[in-house]
Chains A and B, each alone.
Chain A
Amino acid sequence: MYFWKCWRDNRTHFIVSLIALPALCVFFTVIAVRLGDPDAVRKGTPPSVIQAWSTTTEFILGGWASVFTLMWGLVLGASGLGEEFKERTADFLLVRPRRRRFWVWAGWSVGVTELSVMVFLAVGATFGTLTYMTGHVHTWRPLATTLPLAIGGTVVYGLTYFMTIVARSGRQGLSYGIGILFIDLLLPSAVSYYWNVNLPSILGFMMGACKWVTSPTAVFPVGGLVLWTLVALAFPVAAQLVLERAEV
């Protein structure tokens, strides 16, 4: 029943996003193709088609859809289990006969499922539109883009989810999550600029993975995927450790 309750808490935002995100992806894809060379695209001239695909992939999925996913991860995480403390419902929930880790993993998995569904639909809408407009079908590569986007969203979601439990407040957890995300975005750029050392960044990973769709020379970022998957799983584990030791 806790799964139902988690779904019940987010369902309005989720359904709105579920409609808005694919719609916006379709809209931006149409704009992106029209800003290129729509006649050539319509005729199926290979460079124009490739151009349309790479532009759309990089700027729509690698750009704003990634940011949207990260933002959604932040919002979703902030409404997670830690908010029970702020709302003073923790002493109702935590006396239900389940181990505390159940609450952590159940709440987290509902959020991950919602995020994944949204990402899948965004990617599907974008590449569906592209395929329809260009007449060119990329096979499994576009679908593989779902993975880094979903993992990226899950990392940020897990981070906020964890921070919300630590801070025992959704708002504070959100603030900490945004702060850490900014550090993750700015620090690698600064380190790379001054010392020429590449530090992993979640947005960089998501954008880079989207480039791989149309670049024949690019390699699928398996290492990054493994690294960020481990990071994504580390947050609920940390949240479990915190909650199991928490005094309510």
Chain B
Amino acid sequence: MNDLAIWTEELVKTYPEVRAVDGLSMNVPRGVAYGFLGRNGAGKTSTIRILLGLTRPTAGRGAVLGFSIGRDQVAILERTAFVSESKTLYGNLTPRELARFTQGFYPKWSDQAAAKYSRLFEIPMDRPFSKLSQGNRTKVYLMLALSQGADLLVLDEPTMGLDPLMVDEFLRVLVEDVVGEGYTVFVSSHHLSDVEQIADWVGLIDHGRLLLEARLDDIKSQFRLITVAGNALPQTLSPEILLVASEGNFCKYLVKKNADAFAAELNRQGATVAEVSPLGLREIFLELVRKEEACTSGNVGGITARISSSLS
């Protein structure tokens, strides 16, 4: 587990009316940028809050940088920088005072980094936080996180309120100064293009469960959406088949690998393969979280089992 920055096993968080995290198991390797994607209410923020000890899991376990969640919380926090979704800091303090406040908690704090990022992000260092624009507030939060000298950066919607130029600058900093130096970035975001720009790995969560966890390169090179027409098409999911959904008279399969072999097998079963198309992160996200009816044709298990075995 030491090669993992974050791992969780069957993590559950229930609130009185909702199961926010529902058996989440994920593995975030060290030294990578990991995009944690999901819709609103998918369980992203709840997961992050569990990892940082802001809330307790109902069940399950996990570790951050080798330290157990809940038990070694201070050790985790010493090594982790967090940018929260709310981006709220003390309104009466200036960014300079906030930096002074924050540095006292972190032995690896770097004044040089703080000066560098305040210049780079053009932060007005002597204006009270309450008088800053939303974009500048986000920049202050990012500056504080980047100056901590943390082994792991946990960023919840980090680019909220930033203009496109600043988003680019910030993403460049993440890639060059953080991941480039061997540290880990765990970024939760709705902005798929931002994540696609920096992430090595992605995890896709919906209804508290991880639907997908894969290298972005693998997604680009191997994941395919196969559109098929025919009767008695396979319905069930397997480790290779992430999605089966209907669209008009067609059935769509999101296949993780060996798409050509899968398409050939469908052809052999008498189906007509209309298209095998590569997917971007956005398409995968939309396909996986979109609620569609399952294909209505029968003969479910047999063909899928055969296809799955032929793929593996």
Chain A: residues with CB nearer than 8 A to chain B?
1-2, 4-5, 8-9, 87-89, 91-92, 94-99, 247-248
Is chain A's binding surface mostly helix, strand, loop or mixed?
loop
| Contact call B91/A96, Cβ cutoff below 8 A | no
Is chain B's binding surface mostly helix, strand, loop or mixed?
loop
0/1 interface trace, chain B 75-118, chain A, CB 8 Å (1 if under): 10110101010101111110001001111111000000000000
Closest to B80 in A: A95
Contacts A8-B93, A99-B74, A247-B56 given; 12 further ones with Cβ under 8 A?
A1-B100, A5-B93, A5-B101, A87-B90, A87-B91, A91-B86, A92-B89, A94-B53, A95-B53, A97-B77, A97-B106, A247-B54
Answer yes or no: B197 CB below 8 A from chain A CBs: no
| Contact call B82/A8, Cβ cutoff below 8 A | no
| Contact call A88/B78, Cβ cutoff below 8 A | no
A5 to chain B: which residues have CB within 8 Å? 90, 93, 101
| Contact call B104/A1, Cβ cutoff below 8 A | yes
| 4 A-B pairs with the lowest CB-CB distances in the bound complex, closest first | A1-B104, A97-B77, A248-B54, A97-B78
Q: What are 20 A-B pairs at a CB distance below 8 A?
A: A1-B103, A2-B101, A5-B93, A5-B101, A87-B90, A89-B88, A89-B90, A91-B49, A91-B54, A91-B86, A95-B77, A95-B82, A97-B77, A97-B78, A97-B106, A98-B77, A98-B105, A99-B74, A247-B54, A247-B55
B52 to chain A: which residues have CB within 8 Å? 95
Closest to A247 in B: B55
Shortest Cβ gap from A246 to chain B (Å): 9
| Contact call B89/A89, Cβ cutoff below 8 A | yes
B101 to chain A: which residues have CB within 8 Å? 1-2, 4-5
A96 to chain B: which residues have CB within 8 Å? 77, 102, 105
- Tell me which of B52, B53, B75, B90 has the highest count of chain A C-beta atoms within 10 A of its own C-beta: B90
Measured in the bound complex, the distance between the Cα atoms of B105 and A9 in whole Å is: 19
Count, A-B residue pairs, CB within 8 A: 61
A8 to chain B: which residues have CB within 8 Å? 92-93, 97
Report how many residues on chain B are interfacial, defined by Cβ distance under 8 Å: 29
A92 to chain B: which residues have CB within 8 Å? 84, 88-89
| Contact call B55/A248, Cβ cutoff below 8 A | yes
Measured in the bound complex, the distance between the Cα atoms of B80 and A95 in whole Å is: 9
B80 to chain A: which residues have CB within 8 Å? 95
| Contact call A97/B54, Cβ cutoff below 8 A | no
A2 to chain B: which residues have CB within 8 Å? 101, 104
Closest to A88 in B: B88
| Contact call A95/B89, Cβ cutoff below 8 A | no
